[in-house]
Structures are given as structure tokens and as C-alpha cells.
Amino acid sequence: MKLLRESIRRIILEDYELTDKDIERYRSQNPMAGALTDDQIRNSIDNRGIGMQNKKAIQRDKKAMRDWHELMKQNPQFVKQFMEGKVQILHSITYQGTYSDKNQEIESWTPFSDWIKKFGRRSRDQISCVAANAPIGADPHLWDWDMGNGQAVYCEGFGFLMKGYPAFAAECDVMTQTLSAISDDLKDFHKNSGQVKRAADIYEAIDPNDWKGVDELILDNWQIIGIYIIDWYWDVDFKGKGASSVIADAHEQGVPVYKVDSKNYKMTKV
């Protein structure tokens, strides 16, 4: 309940107003914006992925998050599964989203050490994951629920297994804020409470009483509990040094390491 109260408090407090730097950045990225005044941009923009939204859009998204938290009050067992890591929660550090650039992690010989140095082993910043309603090691039944993100996260590289509070669980990719793409002003605005992500509508959410997977999970107050790596990393050459360097780095992090079978997506501890 404490984390639920914290999440609700965060929703109430978050009401960011676009700065002049934001407007300048938007103009530099959108040549067609030249004909618009600053006020017109502030009143019309709705690009959640890079953290640029008008006030009505923010209020819409905040309502969706409040509706979800009301639903969580009625489903404490669902929350407990995520908080205790009883279901599979994966955050990929190689998945290339619309606004994310993971080339540094993909090309690094020590991607897990690098990521942890940058973001930590636990955080109040919300993060995007996928989730399967199955314990680690069991069949995630990926094809029963995947809408695109699931396959990309399980099968195209490596990342972390996590636990935390399910701030929102969606059936599809809801294009939440990409933390590496938002402005420094927005980061500063949320630095005390933690960076936020939002969905737009409660109808995008899964049914917590009948679900198989989550194509985009907003995870709050997260903690790393494991590492997963797709099986072909045991067989391919990686930057002339062999993927063994990535695997060795994984085993140095002090958490279990799992190999994902590329045929059935089950994880085996290695």
C-alpha cells in the first residue's frame, strides 16, 4: 500500500509545463512547426515518447494512471506477484524503440556493468518492461500475448529480470516516455520523486484477473533480480572477442544468469 500511495502522490504532483528550451528543441526536430507560434505548440503537442505534451494530454494520461491505481487497490495479489518477482519481468538493454538508442549497450563488451553504473541496481525512476504470467524458467507462452515488444525483448539480445510495482500494465506498446529521449528540464522536474512514464487510456490495460502477458509494463521502484541472454550469444563471435565477454560480465553482477532458448523462450539458469 505504501508504494501505491507513492505512485498516486506522484500522479497528483506531475504537471510539467513545456519550457522555452523544449519549444526550441521541438522546432529543430520538426520543420513544419515553423508556422506555429510557441503557444500553439504548447497547446497542441502530444508526443509522449519524448516527454512533450500539452496540459490536456497530461491530464488525460494522469486519469488513466489514476484509474489503474484504483484497479490495483482491488487486486493486491496481482501487485504482490510483481513486487516479489513471482512472474517474469524483463527489461531489455538491446531493444531499439522508436526514440531509444541502444548501440552503446549492443557494442559494449561489458553491457551489464555499464548499464548498472548508469542507472543502478534499483531505482524510483519508472522503466518499461514486458512481463509474462509465469515464474522464471517456465514457458512464457509468448505467442499467446505478444503484440511486438515481447518477441523483441525475449529473442533479440539480453537484459535484466526485475521486480517492482506495476504502475501500469498494457496489452500493447503504449509509447510511454523514453527516459533517454526526454529533456533535461523534464528530468530536473521529476528528479526528487523519480522519472515518470504514462499511458493514455485505461482501456489499454490488461485484465489483472485474467492475463497471460504484458506488452508494455511501466515498472516503478524496480530492482534487478537476474540477467537473461538469448542462447545464440554462446555461439557467435562478438566484436572479434567472442560473446564470452558479455556472458562473463553477466556473471560478475551477483545475480542469477539465465539462457533464453530461442525456440521456446524458456529460461535456464547457467
Tell me the three state secondary structure of residue 270: coil
Q: What is the mean pLDDT of residues 234-260?
A: 83
What percentage of the chain exceeds 90 in pLDDT?
47
pLDDT at 52: 74
Strand ranges inside 82-179, DSSP E: 88-92, 122-123, 127-132, 158-170
Residue, of 239 and 248, whose pLDDT is higher: 248
- Mean pLDDT, the chain, rounded, equals 82
**pLDDT by residue (tens digit) across 54-96?**
888 888 888 888 899 999 999 999 999 999 999 999 999 997 6
**pLDDT by residue (tens digit) across 147-175?**
989 999 999 889 999 999 999 999 988 76
DSSP 180-217: TTS-HHHHHHTTTT------S-GGGB--TTS-SEEEEE
pLDDT at 91: 96
Residues 140, 131: Cα–Cα separation, whole Å: 9
pLDDT at 62: 87
Give 1-6 contacts, CB < 8 A, sequence gap 24+.
3/83, 3/165, 3/220, 3/221, 4/69, 4/72, 4/73, 4/79, 4/165, 6/220, 6/221
Contact 117, 252 (CB under 8 A): no
Cα-based angle 228, 77, 225 (whole degrees, multiple of 5): 20
Q: If pLDDT is split at 50, 70 and 90, which confidence band does 11 have?
A: very low
Q: What is the mean pLDDT of residues 17-28?
A: 79
pLDDT at 99: 46
pLDDT at 1: 52
What does each C-alpha distance from 248 to 99, 217, 241, 245 come to in angstroms?
29, 29, 12, 5
Give 150-156 contacts, CB < 8 A, sequence gap 24+.
150/213, 150/215, 152/92, 152/95, 153/90, 153/91, 153/92, 153/95, 153/129, 154/90, 154/130, 154/230, 154/260, 154/265, 155/230, 155/260, 155/262, 155/265, 156/92, 156/94, 156/95, 156/230
Contact 179, 124 (CB under 8 A): no
**pLDDT by residue (tens digit) across 107-122?**
788 999 999 999 999 9
Q: What are phi and psi of 29, to 5 degrees?
A: -95, -10
Residue, of 231 and 177, whose pLDDT is higher: 231
Instruction: Give 91's strand partners.
Output: 160
Q: Where are the domains of the chain?
A: 2-269
Q: If pLDDT is split at 50, 70 and 90, which confidence band does 202 have?
A: confident
Q: What is the mean pLDDT of residues 9-22?
A: 66
